[in-house]
Amino acid sequence: MGDVRKVTKMRAKKVDDNHKEIVKALRQIGASVFDTSSLGRGFPDIVVGWQGVNYLVEIKTTKGKPTEQQVNFFVNWRGQAVLVRAASDIFNLLGVQPLDGSKK
């Protein structure tokens, strides 16, 4: 039979439940946010730009654990990369308060 090619199905990467909330909160304070969660291979979920500084941000739930690829990325990356579990984690890093004044 002619040329037989394997077709690999692409599946969407799973994002943590708090992903949308954190992205929304960052955009509300005026941060630039680029969603990179579909890249995989250990690359963090979002890239955040704030006051001229870029942050690579991995989002996990309270009980979520980084994958082996994510751990390897963090160990080998020589720039700014952080793991956050709530919007307050990134707000603390950026030195800002949420717009609603809460401690989310």
8 A C-beta contact, residue 62 and residue 22: no
pLDDT at 14: 73
pTM > 0.85: no
CA 99 to chain CA centroid, Å, is: 21
pLDDT at 16: 79
Summarize the confidence of residues 82-90 as an average pLDDT: 94
State the Cα–Cα distance between residues 7 and 63, nearest whole angstrom. Answer: 35
pLDDT band for 55, please (50, 70, 90 cuts).
very high
State the Cα–Cα distance between residues 22 and 53, nearest whole angstrom. Answer: 18
Taking residue 89's Cβ as centre, other Cβ atoms within 10 Å add up to 17
- Kind and range of the H or E element at 81? strand 81-84
Q: pLDDT per residue over 16-50, tens digit each?
A: 789 999 999 999 999 999 999 999 999 999 999 99
